[in-house]
């Protein structure tokens, strides 16, 4: 039980019909029947051809890198997600850890029976959870540079951006040295060029200029 079927269970199930009755004062049977109501269908945005291409490429990739992933389930993940950028529809999604829905406790795709028998109960559950989860939507992944245009948009809307910023290749934030893609620095960056160069240093300075209150406010405006 999981995934879309579990999440939309109430929508898919419908309502059971029933029939009941009672005897009235004349000992006649008064019968009431309530017809069943069918559940609703669920139509996904998955494109069959795209999904097949994804699965084929994951299989090919895993074969080519079999030695690197030889530790089995839970050690290395490969995930592919294809979306429609205009509306966020999921056209295809898969990862490399598949399992038989009719036999979800089976680990023999990844381990020999002898290896699986040696797992403690805790270790076995860890391995099973690794294959049951959908890597594409279960694990966190920082958005990174894709968030930069929203930082710039916030700065433009609030009018807090400077004309130029100096990138020396690193910025100290929260006790960590966060480096730019250009380790020696981009030098003087305009706002436009900072986006073109995907300059971490300049964008961090912009975020500091914007300030946490406005930054948080606009994150909500952008629905993040």
User: What 3 state SS string does 148-167 have?
Assistant: HHHHHHHHHHHCCCCCEEEE
- Nearest alpha carbon to residue 101 among 4, 15, 180: 4
Q: Between 76 and 215, whose confidence is greater? A: 215
pLDDT in tens, 5-52: 889 999 999 999 999 888 888 888 888 899 999 999 999 999 999 999
- Nearest alpha carbon to residue 35 among 19, 21, 11, 22: 19
pLDDT in tens, 52-78: 999 999 989 888 877 655 444 445 678
d(CA 206, CA 204): 5
- Nearest alpha carbon to residue 75 among 21, 20, 131, 23: 131
Indicate whether 96 pLDDT > 90: no
Token pair recorded at residue 181: 């893609």
For tokens 């894709």, name the residue.
146
The angle, 0 to 180 degrees and rounded to 10, between the axes of the packed helices 212-221 and 200-210 is 100
Q: Is the pTM of this model over 0.85?
A: no
Cα pseudo-dihedral 45, 51, 82, 60, rounded to 10: 170
């Amino acid at each position: 039980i999981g995934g879309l079927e579990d999440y939309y269970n109430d929508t898919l199930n419908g309502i059971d019909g029933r029939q009941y009755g009672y005897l009235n004062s004349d000992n006649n049977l008064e019968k009431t029947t309530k017809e069943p109501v069918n559940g609703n269908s669920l139509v996904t945005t998955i494109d069959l051809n795209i999904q097949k291409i994804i699965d084929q490429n994951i299989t090919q990739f895993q074969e080519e890198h079999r030695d690197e992933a030889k530790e089995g389930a839970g050690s290395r993940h490969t995930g592919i997600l294809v979306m429609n950028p205009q509306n966020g529809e999921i056209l295809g999604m898969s990862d490399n850890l598949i399992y038989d829905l009719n036999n979800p406790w089976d680990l023999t795709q990844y381990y020999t029976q002898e290896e699986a028998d040696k797992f403690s109960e805790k270790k076995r559950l860890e391995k099973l959870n690794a294959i049951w989860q959908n890597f594409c939507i279960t694990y966190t992944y920082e958005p990174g540079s894709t968030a930069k245009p929203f930082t710039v948009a916030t700065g433009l809307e609030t009018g807090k951006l400077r004309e130029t910023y100096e990138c020396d290749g690193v910025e100290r934030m929260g006790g960590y040295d966060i480096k730019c893609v250009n380790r020696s620095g981009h030098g003087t960056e305009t706002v436009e060029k900072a986006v073109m160069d995907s300059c971490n240093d300049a964008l961090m300075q912009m975020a500091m200029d914007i300030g946490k209150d406005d930054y948080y406010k606009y994150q909500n405006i952008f629905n993040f």
